């Protein structure tokens, strides 16, 4: 996983909040860049969780055949 080991649900919820803040505007360029970078980190964490879940499902299906 990425540097942080946070649960998928927590990462997803924080990502939703980051997107909401970016879409709302009203932040400085520096704040927007920091939010964007955090959003990228969170998206990577979520994708890694999903990739891991897919691998586990694929492995389980392979064992049943």
Q: Quick check: is 59 in a domain?
A: yes
Domain total of the chain = 1
Q: Is 55 left (phi over 0), alpha (psi -120 to 50) or beta?
A: alpha
pLDDT at residue 1 tops 80:
no
Q: Is 37 helix (H, G, I), strand (E, B) or coil?
A: helix
Q: What is the pLDDT of residue 59?
A: 94
Q: Quick check: is 31 in a domain?
A: yes
Q: Quick check: is 2 in a domain?
A: no
Q: Quick check: is 40 in a domain?
A: yes
Q: Quick check: is 38 in a domain?
A: yes
Q: What is the pLDDT of residue 63?
A: 64
Q: Quick check: is 1 in a domain?
A: no
pLDDT tens digits along 6-63: 999 999 999 999 999 999 999 999 999 999 999 999 999 999 999 999 999 999 999 6
Q: What is the pLDDT of residue 21?
A: 97
Q: What is the pLDDT of residue 18?
A: 98
Residue (of 37, 51, 36, 38) closest to 1 by Cα position: 51
Q: Quick check: is 3 in a domain?
A: no
């Amino acid at each position: 996983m990425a540097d942080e080991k946070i649960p998928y649900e927590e990462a997803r919820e924080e990502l939703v909040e980051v997107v909401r803040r970016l879409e709302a505007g009203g932040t400085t360029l520096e704040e927007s860049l920091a939010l964007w970078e955090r959003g990228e980190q969170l998206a990577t964490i979520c994708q890694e969780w999903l990739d891991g879940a897919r691998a586990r499902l694929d492995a389980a299906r392979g064992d049943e055949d």
